[in-house]
Structure 1
Amino acid sequence: MLSTLAALLGLCLCQRISAQKQTLSKPIIWAKPGSVIPKGMAVIIWCEGTFGAVEYQLHFDGLLSTFERPTPPGITNKVKFAIRLMTRHSAGQYRCFYREGELWSEPSDPLDLVVTGMYDTPTLSVHPGSKVIPGENVTFHCHLETGTSTFFLLKEGRLSSPQRRNGKFQAEFPMGPVTTAHSGTYRCFGSYNDFMWSFPSKTVVLLVTGDVGDTNLVPTGQPSSDAWEPSLFTTEVVGFQEGRAIWDHRADTLLRVGLIFLVLVALVCLLAEDWLRGKTTEETANGASNQECRVRFRTQRALDKGRRDAVAIGKAEL
């Protein structure tokens, strides 16, 4: 008996500990229009959880920044946190959480929000030139006079992480052998910390012409894993998120339209029912009135006939 009771107590304790440790799957976080924002511009941070979520929290540099509740609940699975003006104080690392009932989710992947337009403007050049043939090696040079030793090179429209290099007033970004996949528009930035960058340089267009080659190749000049931030931009899967956001928006719109249609149908049915009920009542009243008139008419005829008969009998007796 005691052993059975001890086993039951142990099972209850294990279930309680398991319930306390239970967490929900992590949400998805991303920024629109992107995670590299010029100073003074607006940005929206999206957090996507589940349709059962009742609250979302946004944490900035490890501390609670703000929270939002979906309105109306159960209709959407994401919320947005708006930053009206991007400044050095709003640049940093963000994560979000969501809650269902008493359970909280795991934290999202980190979103590194970078502000640009701080201080000076670097210059960018490419050697041996901006027009090369497949198989050549090229090197981008980013130069900034003011005191910084960290530089970033970005390719416009690129979904992967930017390249990061260190150097005193200048950094080199080698690429090659290049293919047509390297063609595109590039900018560079000087960095004063991981989240505050300079103004962007003027764009440099690299054009790889000639034989197409293997376009599946990626630049071999990517920095080593210890030379760049692996978390930077890893949450900005723009194409996928935009497609899903558009689909979710359309789905929400269709759901709202469907609910409005059902409400209208219900109102029409109620109005039709009231009209039919009123018409039935009116017809019943009219029928009753007609019946009463017929009864009165017959009664009056019988009375008149009785009077005439009485008069006729009286005359006959005389």
Structure 2
Amino acid sequence: MPSTLTALLCLGLCLSQMISSQKYTLMKPIIWAKPNSIIPKGNPVTIWCKGIHEAIEYHLLFKGQLSALERQKSHGLMNKVRFPIPAMTLHTAGRYNCIYLSGELWSKPSDPLDLVVTGMYDIPTLSVQPGPEVVSGENVTFHCHLETATNTFFLLKEGRSSRPQQRYGKNQADFFMGPMTPAHRGTYRCFGSYNDFAWSLPSEPVKLLVTGSIGDTSFAPTEPNSYDGEDSWDVYPSTTKTGFQKELTFWDHTAQNLFRIGMAVLILVSIAGLLVMDWLSRKRTQERAIRASSGNAGEGSEHKDPSTNDQEMQC
């Protein structure tokens, strides 16, 4: 029996080590900003972080340090939280991440969100060569100029799917694009900046028209013309979980639960097996003892004392 207990103890320790060494990873949260990630100075913005329904706490990280946190206030579900910023300034512009806590596990940080404040410098000028109307297949070059000396320029096309292009220059930067396709049509602006998160006021818009042939206006731009900080400037569009991501999350949790159940069943089966083996061992030991005692009794009856037999006969 002591050997069985030792075996059970060793088995429990080994399985516990296996379970604890198994690394369960939570789904990485999603972070985005509304109305967008490029905000004029003084305007409000809200940072959203989305995790899983089992999350009990969210942390917003700014430049790698804790900036704000949100805890579950009730027993309801909390798969996303908001972190409002009342007014954009130089101090609130920068790189953000978020993480969440589920049970005793922290998720990995989200992808970075670069929050940009505009309106910090003079207005640059933007021009395009050979002109704002080109034929499909031609090349164009955008020239962005800022009187105030700077070292970085950004060219941005209005629209949700747009991401800024970055160039370096003291007072001017050139953005080469081509060959032109209808996908390049739209409204462009440029910004000057001394860092990636504090930009100048936007330039006046430049509409680029790409036609199939001269005079063909079938590819006329349809994007908004005004810079109003609305969704047209959402260069980092809000990311939501697609059905595929939800399915991955579901299967991730299912796999973890199946692993835990499997390990529990394995432990129970192993313990049951060891107990059965111990019972069989003790049963065999008892049977051998019974057989041994029966054999000893038989031998004793065959080797009786002769004097005892004589006494019995006399009686």
TM-score by length of 2: 0.64
- Report the Cα offset of residue 181 of structure 1: 1.2
Mapped pair 1:16 → 2:35: no
Unaligned runs of 5+ in 1: 216-232, 245-318
Q: Secondary structure at the match of 2:161?
A: coil
After TM superposition, give the deviation of residue 6 of structure 1 in Å.
4.2
Alpha-carbon RMSD across the aligned residues, in angstroms, is: 2.6
Give 1:11 shift. 2.8
Is the Cα–Cα contact under 8 Å of residues 163 and 235 in structure 2 kept in the other structure?
Answer: no
Question: Could you tell me how far 1:17 is from its partner in structure 2?
Answer: 3.2
Q: Distance in 2 between matches of 1:83 and 1:158?
A: 22
SS class of match (1:171): strand
Aligned to 2:112: 110
In the other structure, the counterpart of 1:203 is 205
Query: Structure 2: where are the runs of 5+ without partners?
Result: 220-232, 244-315
Amino acid at match of 1:122: P
How far did residue 134 of structure 1 move? 1.0
Please give the per-residue CA displacement for 1:9-47, whole angstroms capped at 9, x wherever unaligned. 2332232233xx433111110000111111100000011
Partner residue in 1 for 2:189: 187
Residue 173 (structure 1) aligned with residue 175 (structure 2): yes
- Pairing of 1:25-104 with structure 2 (within 5 A): 25-70=27-72, 72-104=74-106
Alignment-mate amino acid for residue 104 of structure 1? W
Q: Is the 8 A contact 2:39 2:117 kept in 1?
A: yes
Contact 1:30-1:235 within 8 A present in 2 as well: no
Contact 1:153 1:163 (8 Å CA) reproduced: yes
- Report the equivalent of 1:162: 164
C-alpha contact (below 8 Å) 1:113/1:195 kept by paired residues: yes
Aligned CA distance change for structure 1 residues 85 and 185 (closer, same or farther; 3 Å): same
Which one-letter code corresponds to 1:194 in the other structure?
D
- Mapped to 2, the partners of 1:196 and 1:51 lie a distance apart of 35
Q: Closer, same or farther in 2 for the Cα pair 1:243/1:189, shift >3 Å?
A: farther
Q: Quick one: which amino acid aligns to residue 97 of structure 1?
A: I
8 A contact 1:111–1:235 mirrored in 2: no
Task: State the Cα distance separating 1:72 from its structure 2 match.
Answer: 4.6
Q: Distance in 2 between matches of 1:178 and 1:207?
A: 10
Supply the distance in 2 between the matched residues of 1:153 and 1:235 (Cα, whole angstroms): 11
* TM-score, with length taken from structure 1: 0.64
**1:132 aligned onto 2:130:** no
* Alignment check: 8 A CA contact 2:28 2:108 kept: yes
Output one character per residue of 1:200-243: Cα deviation in whole Å (capped at 9) or x when no partner: 1111111112358xx9xxxxxxxxxxxxxxxxx999234x6499
How far off is 1:147 after superposition? 1.9
Query: Equivalents in 2 of 1:234, 1:96: separation in Å?
Result: 20
Whole-angstrom CA distance in 2 between matches of 1:202 and 1:158? 19
- Cα deviation 1:237-265 (Å, max 9, x = unaligned): 34x64999xxxxxxxxxxxxxxxxxxxxx
State the alpha-carbon separation in 2 of the partners of residues 160 and 70 from structure 1.
Answer: 35
**2:21 match: secondary structure:** helix
Question: For 2:46 and 2:136, how far apart are their aligned partners in 1?
Answer: 40
Using the aligned pairs only, state the percent identity.
60
